[in-house]
Amino acid sequence: MHETGVIPVKSERQAMDWSLVLVSQGIESTIERVPESENWQLSVPSNDYARAVQALRQYHAENKRGTWVRELPAGLLLDWRALAWAAAMLLIYFANATSGDMWESAGLMSSQLVRAGQWWRLFTATSLHGDVAHLAFNVTTGILLVGLAMGAYGPGFGLLTCYLAGVGGNLVGLLLYPSTHQSLGASGIVMGALGAITVQSAGTTSMVVRNVILRAFCGGFLLLVLLGLSPDPRTDIVAHIGGFATGALLGFCLALGRARLSRAADYVALALCVVLFIVPWVLALR
């Protein structure tokens, strides 16, 4: 029987994250629940214990939580910097309202115009809203879901994933809808955040985590049906499903490589997200 070393953890979510870190370093670990307790722990081979502790210390140093990140029940992390995204949605809405819908005309998703070369509309349409109710729903829901995605993957990677998911939803609509199709709204971003959150525990072979992933997928799918498949004829169901699928795909890739995502790389992802937000609007309004 092989001797093992025990590493205590604060929650099941932390145990899953740390297990992924160790797997990336070639260290096998087992997630265990402490008998007669609500606590969790990781068991690693005793000859790998020192290396495992060092790897986790380095991971903790590189991924230290800031004052904006708060832990919610079930080990979820909410990054309140999602409020900056919400503020951008509000600013663009009021800029459009005070300009006689100039921003909407320049930036809404039009399949015909995108196919004519105005590719930036795939991006700009994700920050436009038709009315206050549309804006309020996406912003309030988005603060939570985008914040959870940023908490799961880092503010840069999380926000970039959500934004690209919204673009992906518009791209799916471009491919499936006729050339007369037009749409706008951040629903693809919100659904993309939901998709990314759904797969955040991917990347481990632990049976405990497999069960968590299955429950998360089922919960995410049910939320997609509830939030994204409205019978309202104005609802862009294709963009919602496309956004969810894109977010899930990007989130899955990030979850597999989470242990290798440094803070510096997260800053680069955040800068890229800002560039991809500003440049399309500059092109649209020129």
Q: Is 187 a catalytic residue?
A: yes
Q: How many CB atoms lie within 10 A of CB 243?
A: 35
Which of 80, 226, 248, 62 lies closest to 148, judged by CA?
80
Name the catalytic one among 19, 127, 187, 201.
187
Q: Is 230 a catalytic residue?
A: no
Tell me phi and psi for residue 230, to 5 degrees.
-70, 145
Which of 154, 159, 151, 157 lies closest to 76, judged by CA?
151
Q: How many CB atoms lie within 10 A of CB 12?
A: 19
Please return the burial class of 37, using the count of CB atoms within 10 Å of its CB with bins 0-12, 13-18 and 19+: exposed
| Tokens matching residue 121 | 């509309």
Which of 186, 132, 180, 183 lies closest to 163, judged by CA?
186
Name the catalytic one among 111, 129, 206, 240.
240
Which of 208, 211, 279, 217 lies closest to 251, judged by CA?
217
Q: So which residues are the catalytic ones?
A: 187, 240
